[in-house]
Amino acid sequence: MRIDSGSFGLVQPLDASSKTLQKNNNNLSKILQKLSTSLQINSASDNAAGLGITQQLTTQARGFKMATQNVNDAMSALNIAGGTGSQVSDLVSQQRDLAVQASNGTLTNSERQTLDTQYQSLTQEINQISNSSQFNTQNVANGTGLATGNASVQAGPNAGNTVNMPAVNMTAAALGITGTSIGTAANAQAAIGQLDNAMNTLNSQQATLGAMTDMFQSAVNNLSVADVNTQAAESVVSDEDMANGLTQLTSSELLQQSATEAFSKFNQISANHLFGLLSQ
């Protein structure tokens, strides 16, 4: 005898129970995934809009970190230039002392020539220091490389967040020292005024370097705050509420157990029912 179980209303309940059990399994898997990753958004199916927001916030946070590194590098370059300025300032002061000494009428021209030899060596040293002062193989104190005034620093995460490094030139020519001499009393007198102008130029460049360093330090502080706030905002959107997740886990496990027991009981009843029909 052929028995069509569908005629006894057995197939549809069986399918419904199976689908319910599968649905509970899927929900349980998602809850476990969220708890294990501590994230409530693990794929677009969890929250497509939320996923887009978290990705954008994550990108911004990474941009803040990289911009911070860029600004720190720029400050390192400025610090090197500032150190060069201090050295050159000291050399110019030594030259001025020699010029004042050479202006004294009690000295002979031969003695002035000896002083001028020392004076000229200091000029060469100024050029050597200014031309060899570098950051990442780029010059920072002779008007080239990072010292042109056109070197751009990406100081933020977005296009247009750029700041130019200041123009810095501490060579003897830029300071107006090239060609000066203290071999005669007249030349020594003239050199004093030129050296005073050179010192003023150096002081102005040092002040610019200091102001730019302060600005960059402020930028680093602001970037740090922005990074923290952005990560906090991303966390609000993406992080899983662990307490709520555990509650859902318990509820889902109870539903899973109930569905499993119901499915098992249904199979047992169905088998007994068919057995009864066949034994008639």
Interval 222-263: pLDDT, tens: 998 888 887 777 666 555 444 554 465 566 555 556 556 555
Q: Give the three-class secondary structure for 177.
A: coil
**Cα 60 to Cα 157: distance, rounded to the nearest angstrom:** 6
**Cα 62 to Cα 70: distance, rounded to the nearest angstrom:** 12
Instruction: Evaluate if residue 275 carries a pLDDT over 60.
Output: no
Through-space distance between the first and last CA atoms of the chain, rounded to whole angstroms: 11
Instruction: Evaluate if residue 50 carries a pLDDT over 90.
Output: no
Pick from 47, 40, 46, 21: nearest CA to 252: 21
Q: Give the three-class secondary structure for 41.
A: coil
Q: Which residues contact 68 (CB under 8 A, 6 or more apart)?
A: 220, 223, 224, 227
Average pLDDT over residues 259-268: 57
Going from N- to C-terminal start, the domains of the chain cover 5-38+244-278, 48-238
Asked if residue 93 lies in contact with residue 119, where contact means CB atoms within 8 angstroms, the answer is: no
Instruction: Evaluate if residue 190 carries a pLDDT over 60.
Output: yes
Question: What pLDDT score was predicted for residue 70?
Answer: 95
DSSP bridge pairs for 164: 152
Asked if residue 205 lies in contact with residue 222, where contact means CB atoms within 8 angstroms, the answer is: no
Lowest-confidence region among 42-56, 122-136, 199-213, 218-232: 42-56
* CATH code for the structural domain at 48-238: 1.20.1330.10
Question: What pLDDT score was predicted for residue 11?
Answer: 47
Instruction: Tell me the pLDDT tens digit for each residue of 129-173.
Output: 999 999 999 999 999 999 999 999 999 999 999 999 999 999 999
Instruction: Evaluate if residue 92 carries a pLDDT over 70.
Output: yes
Asked if residue 182 lies in contact with residue 99, where contact means CB atoms within 8 angstroms, the answer is: yes
Question: What pLDDT score was predicted for residue 29?
Answer: 59
DSSP bridge pairs for 28: none
> Tokens 């927001």 belong to which residue?
53
Q: What is the pTM of this model?
A: 0.68
**Cα 141 to Cα 129: distance, rounded to the nearest angstrom:** 9
